[in-house]
Amino acid sequence: QVQLVESGGGLVQAGASLRLSCAASGRTFSASFMGWFRQAPGKEREFVAAISWSGGSTYYADSVKGRFTVSRDNAKNTVYLQMNSLKPEDAAVYYCAGSISGSVYFIPGYRYWGQGTQVTVSS
């Protein structure tokens, strides 16, 4: 089992930036993809971005493409989400997750989840 811990959330003004971190640890690490998800009050949890551990390929939801950047540091077992030009609609609890599936968009493949970190964007 892999343990994931997110950090970096906070309260920012619209147009500002935040950098989220997700540190992975555990006896065994078997994730193929590391993804970022978010959930706002009253809404379903949605896919935000993901990156493959081996090749570093990145994937983004249309709503964040061009504003968010996902990256990784394999030596530190850490994944990052750089969020720029934040909008009030980006406010949510952000989760990182590890997928054991070979398909980045196969949501049930994400077996490891962090506790979440709150991102609040004010106008």
Q: What is the DSSP string of 20-86?
A: EEEEEEES----SEEEEEEE-TTS--EEEEEEETTT--EEE-TTTBTTEEEEEEGGGTEEEEEE-S-
How many Å is the Cα radius of gyration of the chain? 13
The helix/strand/coil state of 94 is: strand
Beta bridge partners of 58: 51
Give the pLDDT confidence score for residue 53 in this predicted structure.
87
Give the pLDDT confidence score for residue 91 in this predicted structure.
98
Do 81 and 9 form a contact (C-beta atoms < 8 A)? Answer: no
pLDDT by residue, tens only, the chain of 123 residues: 789 999 999 999 999 999 999 999 876 566 789 999 999 999 999 999 999 988 899 999 999 999 999 999 988 889 999 999 999 999 999 999 999 888 999 999 999 999 999 999 999
The helix/strand/coil state of 111 is: strand
User: For residues 87-104, b (16+ Cβ closer than 10 Å) or e, as one string?
Assistant: eeebbbbbbbbbbeeeeb
Give the pLDDT confidence score for residue 29 in this predicted structure.
60
Indicate if the alpha-carbon torsion angle 6, 112, 94, 40 is positive or negative. Answer: negative
Give the pLDDT confidence score for residue 40 in this predicted structure.
97
Do 113 and 24 form a contact (C-beta atoms < 8 A)? Answer: no
Write the pLDDT tens digit of every residue in 55-73. 899 999 999 999 999 999 9
